[in-house]
Amino acid sequence: MELSGKTALITGSAKGLGKVTALALARMGCDLVLNYVSSEKEARQLTAEIEQLGVRCTAFQADISIRSDVERLAAQAQSWSSSGCIDILINNAGPFIRERKRFADYAVEDIIGLINGNLLGVMLLDHQLLPGMRRRKWGRIIHFGFGHAGEGRAWPHRAVYAAAKTGLVSFTKTLAVEEAGDGITVHMICPGDIKGLNKERSILEVRSERDEESPGGRPGSGEDIARVIGFLCMHASDYLTGNIIDVTGGFDPIKNSIPVT
């Protein structure tokens, strides 16, 4: 299989987009390290499901917004890997506050948590795992953003989250250039507004449904995201790096935001 012998770490992978991505990579022959904060039951269930596909799988608890947790997760994942390193890192986890409010109305703790979870924690985990990728002269790093993040536009009432993710855009492009010579590619996937259970559904399951907010007509699914990630992780995708890829069906989360008064 395409990714046989490789090990992937996916943050926030007990449920949602991370879960579907883990299953997709497992079907490509990749061993999996799952990560969760509080969804231990779901992580254990997914571990068993992935092992039924004939690959190795484990799950570790860690909060990416906490530096010590990032360091512990990196150490655990690399120790568990049969090669002693992680080949594929999917940075899916990231806190999000759904309530719309102006920046001045955020609690300081929320500001720090959003920045740590969506930017700093991602950078620190990359930093922990890059040496192993460099030694093996092969690696795939995927960051998660939001639709149109690469444009760096204003996103009223999402100031902190948007600042963290657009900062990650620049970091993604910079890291891609710095690490290309060591066979490491770096990209950002920017999902559209994939809601609720659709995060774990297939394209076939949502194709017959209608989403009035989607220019593409149908809702997005977890498979839409996982298929792109699987392609970027393939060996022959090594000429692609530094891309900010919108997987949105044409949906614009900033334009479609409803302002508060």
Which pLDDT value is given to residue 19? 98
Structure tokens at 135: 């030694």
Which fold is adopted by the domain 7-247? Rossmann fold (3.40.50)
For residue range 10-31, what is the model confidence (pLDDT) as tens digits? 999 999 999 999 999 999 999 9
Q: Give the pLDDT confidence score for residue 257 in this predicted structure.
A: 65
- Please give the pLDDT value at position 255: 74
- Give residue 173's pLDDT: 98
If one counts every other C-beta atom within 10 angstroms of the C-beta of residue 111, the result is 15
Backbone angles phi, psi at 203, to 5 degrees: -60, -40
pLDDT at 42: 98
* Amino acid 217: pLDDT: 79
Question: Per-residue pLDDT tens for 208-252?
Answer: 888 777 777 788 999 999 999 999 999 999 999 999 999 998 878
Structure tokens at 191: 């999902």
Q: Which residues of the chain fall short of a pLDDT of 70?
A: 256-261
Separation of alpha carbons 46 and 54, rounded Å: 13
Q: Give burial (CB, 10 Å; 0-12/13-18/19+) of 260.
A: exposed
Asked if 177 and 187 count as a contact pair (C-beta separation under 8 A), the reply is no
pTM: 0.95
Domain spans in the chain, listed from the N-terminal domain onward: 7-247
d(Cα 28, Cα 30) in Å, to the nearest integer? 6
pLDDT at 135: 97
